[in-house]
Structure 1
Amino acid sequence: MPDYDVIIVGAGSVGVPTAMALADKGVKTLVVDKHPSVGQGENKHAIGGIRATHTDPAKILVCLKSLDVFSTWRERFGQEIEWLKGGYIFPVYRETEEKLLKSFLPFQKEYGLNIDFKGPDDIAAAVPGINREGLIGGTISPDDGSASPLLACNFFFQRARALGATFQFKADVTGILVEKGAVTGVATSAGRFSAPVVIDAAGPYSADLNRSLGVDIPVVSESHEGAVTEPVQMFCPAMVVDMRPAEGSLNYYYYQNKHGQLIFCITPDPPIPGTSHDETSRFLPQVCSRMVSLMPRLKHIRVRRVWRGLYPMTPDGSPFVGWNRKVDGLLHATGMCGQGFMLGPGVGEVVARMVIRNETPEDRIVLEKFSLYRDLGAGMEALK
């Protein structure tokens, strides 16, 4: 008899909430991870933003569910994950972004997103101190927010264990075991474990994991840097996203967390492939000049720490969630493209229903859009 019903590879932003969702449905679940505890891979490098503001219906549906989990966690379980309903704001200074964002509104509202395009006075009121010169307006989605990735992952872990999930740490997976075209378990540095279903939640290491059984999955690791400042009095809890490209970057974004610290990140252009976690000397001058240009009041805030994390990227900026068609029992939940923290709880619930064969009509929309076998040449999601 197999040891477990399901084995999840990866105890991070996707693997842990997936274990929680599976255990809640009575599925005997094991999570294996090479690190000594949960969230020690890329989860601890996440900056904490959570939004349903996307242009992909699958991401909207999944993240609306994630928002429900994050926003009600303290009320339901009495645990502080530092959820802050600050919203997401995309300020607009060019006609290009104005037309683009306005064109998405009917579609976004159709799928349940609370969002509107506001004029410059509303944007200036929501982002005190923003540069008013040339400001046209922007979108505000007030139900989006932020939370602590480490606290959330830890409490999801505690909940998963309370529901019966098992976690095996310091277990580096050396291969997925297959017999006659079907998954039978995993081999790890801590021994072998058997199950008829293995879920790939290995993020930037998914390509190597799948290569062990001859499966090619187009997930490529890219490096992104982030930083956090000293705490200051709260003035803008919203995640502010400047979509304008600049030399060396496509966009950048920042928000103020519950402690008053500003946390910020940039999207490098061209991308930086690889698995290096080493900080660079380019990041701070590049992002800080952009931030001060948008928000002059930030020029005297001191930066406390800089770090570098990995984004498991797919060709079109959307995840892979679904059954593998070549290996029976292999289920992919990977390639979150740097959005694993916000997608994790929603993806976990979809995956749990897949395992017990009880998908909803909304799940089918998600699975079609996130299929490994979709057309990957359609282009990157506009709000990636």
Structure 2
Amino acid sequence: MKNYDVIIIGAGSVGVPAALSLSQNKVKVLVIDALASPGQGQNKKAIGGIRATHSDKGKILTALRSIEIFSTWKEIHGDDIGWIQNGYSFPAYTDEDAGKLKDLMKIQKSFNLDIDWLTPEEYLKIVPGINKKNLKGATYSPGDGSASPLLAINAFYFKSLEYGAQYKFKEKVLAITISNESNIKIKTDKGEYTAAKVINAAGNYARQMGQLIGLDFPVEPDSHEGAITEPVQRFFGPMIVDLRPFQDPATEDSANFYFYQNNEGQVIFCLTPRHLMKGTASEATSVFLPQVAKRMVALFPKLANLKVRRTWRGQYPMTPDGFPIVGETKEFPDFINAIGMCGQGYMLGPGLGELLSRIVTCQLTQDDIDVLKHFNLYRDFSGIEQFK
């Protein structure tokens, strides 16, 4: 039986950056994943957007650090992970949405985020050709950006190997035993391992990991679909998030949708269904593409002639309030959660990886303590993430 300082369950958007940060701090770490290689769960289904313009201190500070890591990775480590600082934008087509966005912007500016309100004329300069009928303006945060989920997680993975992190792929966790002794035992279908601490970063299967030690974590996956087009010459700047719900008698109702043009010129887009599809089924549906295409072309007619290469379906491991669950459990302080990322594990992952490392090494800062209050498992979950 091999012994480690930390065992991480899950080699995804959070588990791999955590392994990187821990191994950089000379912590002996093992990552266990049931799939064949890193990022084969929901990470490879992420669309790549990275923003700090959230609605609370926890996500804002975590994402700010993630942006620092993504944006400087090539300069520091030499790997091109497809980072571009293309920004995020939330256009408003109703007075109500404009008011809500401006109110949220006050909170965001209180954290010194680079975000401003653009008039319709100013917004048309960065998104030329967008539908200007009833356009009230838009928030725009030029410091946000995007990077390739595939390139990024592999860069983090190979760098963590250089620092000594170990991985076991194609191994399913079957049992977790926590006794009064100093070590936690992990049994898989291929072996047994012990560690002083365990980090649950199991994504869709975070709840099942908790059940192995008699705890029930409020995380339930629901499905979202995305798609990608052929590459074309760049013709607009930021991620565009259309907040408006939409009703069409011919298709299912939908909530917001969003899209951007990546570093290779491909347009990547995703839609939030109004009636959520619970569970982990990953087959693409026939409803998504006609539904989202109609909305996108109405908003931005220039998109009409793009050819879609493929669609896919992935999950958001959701909590009741839309915020992650991160930190120690009261019942078992050496069992640490990093779960319920609500579809934002990719953008939060690098920042969370460093936070998890400081939890393990007992080096939390006051900001860390404040962030963990927002991500506390024992909160009442009565809040709600704004404009997720």
Interval of TM-score (by shorter of Structure 1 and Structure 2): over 0.9
Alignment partner, residue 278 of structure 2: 273
Distance 1:180 1:149, change over 3 A: same
Alignment partner, residue 121 of structure 1: 121
Pick the aligned partner of 1:361 from 361, 366, 374.
366
Pick the aligned partner of 1:337 from 342, 357, 361.
342
* Contact 2:230–2:308 under 8 Å retained in 1: yes
3-state secondary structure, aligned to 1:197 = strand
Alignment partner, residue 210 of structure 2: 210
Deviation of 1:178 (Å)? 1.3
Deviation of 1:328 (Å)? 3.0
Deviation of 1:180 (Å)? 3.2
Deviation of 1:185 (Å)? 2.7
Map 1:15-34 to 2 at 5 A. 15-34=15-34
| Alignment partner of 1:348 is 2:362 | no
3-state secondary structure, aligned to 1:58 = helix
RMSD between superposed Cα atoms in Å? 1.2
CA separation in 1, counterparts of 2:106 and 2:134? Answer: 26
CA separation in 2, counterparts of 1:304 and 1:183? Answer: 49
CA separation in 1, counterparts of 2:308 and 2:68? Answer: 32
3-state secondary structure, aligned to 1:4 = strand
Map 1:37-52 to 2 at 5 A. 37-52=37-52
Pick the aligned partner of 1:381 from 374, 385, 388.
385
Distance 1:80 1:198, change over 3 A: same
3-state secondary structure, aligned to 1:3 = strand
Alignment partner, residue 232 of structure 2: 232
CA separation in 1, counterparts of 2:210 and 2:353? Answer: 20
Deviation of 1:192 (Å)? 0.6
3-state secondary structure, aligned to 1:113 = coil
Map 1:1-384 to 2 at 5 A. 3-180=3-180, 184-247=184-247, 248-378=253-383, 380-384=384-388
Give the TM-score normalised by structure 1: 0.98
* Contact 2:207–2:219 under 8 Å retained in 1: yes
Q: Deviations over 1:104-139 (max 9, x none)?
A: 122211213110111001111111110011111110
Deviation of 1:165 (Å)? 0.7
Q: Which segments of structure 1 move beyond 6 Å, counting only runs of 4 or more?
A: none
Deviation of 1:183 (Å)? 5.6
CA separation in 1, counterparts of 2:121 and 2:7? Answer: 52
3-state secondary structure, aligned to 1:258 = coil
CA separation in 2, counterparts of 1:196 and 1:174? Answer: 18
Deviation of 1:228 (Å)? 0.3
Deviation of 1:181 (Å)? 8.4
3-state secondary structure, aligned to 1:235 = coil
* Contact 1:201–1:332 under 8 Å retained in 2: yes
Q: Give unpaired runs (5+ residues) of structure 1.
A: none
